[in-house]
Amino acid sequence: MCMKPLPTIPKGCYPAMITPFTLEGKIDYPAVKRLLKWYNDCGCAGVLGLCASSETTELSLEERVELGRFILENKGNLTVVISGHVSNSFEDQVRELNAMAALKPAALCLIVSRLNQNNETEDEFIANIQRIMDALDDKEMPLGFYEMPGPNNRSLSEKILKFCASTGRFVFMKETSCETEVTRAKIKAVEGTNFGIYNANSTLLLESLKDGAAGFCGIMANYHADLYQWLCDNFEKYPKEAERLSNYLGVMSAVTQQYPATAKYCQHLYGAEMTTYCRKMDGLKLSEQHLYRVRQMEALANELRAWLKTL
């Protein structure tokens, strides 16, 4: 185990990063650069790259490494946490994780379902964590966990989280239970350590921040990341305003149909100039209703921005 705890990564908003594509389905790197600038301009603490929102399962390992390298080279002030392992076999996962770790992100995020393919017991799951840690070339790489919704996902227990915290290696977790009491128990399990819990749920974010969550890591940060960063930064200083903003963000988070295509359209509205093409949606075209909803949601976001500037 790592005896010396790693530094805590910055608290705040970590968008689950989307991947822009050309209409031909190639990664649009100029658009990726514009997107990273937008995250920076929003004041985000960082990003979670090569996650489900990135359509990672639709990218080859070569593309994932190339994209991860580009993100890190153009990150600006962002703290970059990277995932990127999608395979079933242990050997292939280790190969993918070592390739991503070699890029030197701030943390390497393990996907829960990849370590839980046989509905492991707590002790078996912990053994899988240790096995992965032992197999990584970089024994000091900061690690994280990503409870990616989908087959074989599980909500990590207090026992598992305490083990992770005890190693001194874990600094980040995208938490997706969408249950206040479950999130609160996880925060409690790692209390006093450098292991930060980042809530993915917009509606319950404020409550988790009050409980000690380190921030937000979710898909809605691709629409109005600055509002989430404001909430993370100011929920204690402006409690009444934070409640009001939280109410809006919770309702606005319902506009996620046809994600991530709608997020790409929203970014286009902000000037990131990207197509709505998604590999996993086979180039889906958005309906007029979807486009209107995004525009209406962002009109409301602009009103909220103007209001917050008056505080």
Mean pLDDT on 200-204: 97
pLDDT band at residue 286 using 50, 70 and 90 as cut-offs: confident
Mean pLDDT on 200-229: 98
Mean pLDDT on 175-191: 97
| Whole-angstrom distance, CA of residue 56 vs CA of residue 92 | 15
**pLDDT for residue 2:** 45
Q: Is there a contact between 174 and 150 (Cβ–Cβ < 8 Å)?
A: no
pLDDT band at residue 1 using 50, 70 and 90 as cut-offs: very low
Which is nearest to 144 in space by CA: 192, 189, 80?
80
CB atoms within 10 A of CB 24: 9
**pLDDT for residue 247:** 98
Could you tell me whether strands 79-82 and 46-49 are parallel, antiparallel, or unpaired per DSSP bridges? parallel
The three-state secondary structure class of 200 is coil
Average per-residue pLDDT in the chain?
A: 94
**Token pair in block for residue 268:** 């286009």
pLDDT digits (tens, 9 = 90+) for 73-101: 999 999 999 998 899 899 999 999 999 99
pTM of structure? 0.95
**Token pair in block for residue 214:** 């380190």
Which is nearest to 219 in space by CA: 182, 179, 260?
260
**Distance of alpha carbon 84 from the chain centroid:** 12
12-308: CATH number? 3.20.20.70
Mean pLDDT on 59-72: 97
**pLDDT for residue 282:** 67
Mean pLDDT on 41-55: 97
pLDDT digits (tens, 9 = 90+) for 210-223: 999 999 999 999 99
